[in-house]
Amino acid sequence: MDLNIMRALHIIFMVCWFAGLLYIGRLFVYYVEARKDSQQGSAKVSQQLCIMMKRLFYIITWPSGILTTLIGLHLLMQTGALSHPWMHAKLGCVVLLWVYHIWAHRCVVSPKRLPKSSRTLRIANEIPSILLIAIVFFVSTRTVAVGIPVVATVIFFGVLAVVVSKLIKIEETV
Please tell me what DSSP assigns to residue 169. H
**Could you tell me where the DSSP H helices lie in 80-143?**
85-109, 118-124, 126-141
pLDDT tens digit at each of 174 positions of the chain:
799 999 999 999 999 999 999 999 999 999 999 888 767 677 888 899 999 999 999 999 999 999 999 999 999 999 989 999 999 999 999 999 999 999 999 999 999 889 888 888 988 898 999 899 999 989 999 988 887 888 888 888 888 887 887 777 766 665
DSSP string, 43-93: HHHHHHHHHHHHHIIIIIIHHHHHHHHHHHHHHHHHH-GGGSHHHHHHHHH
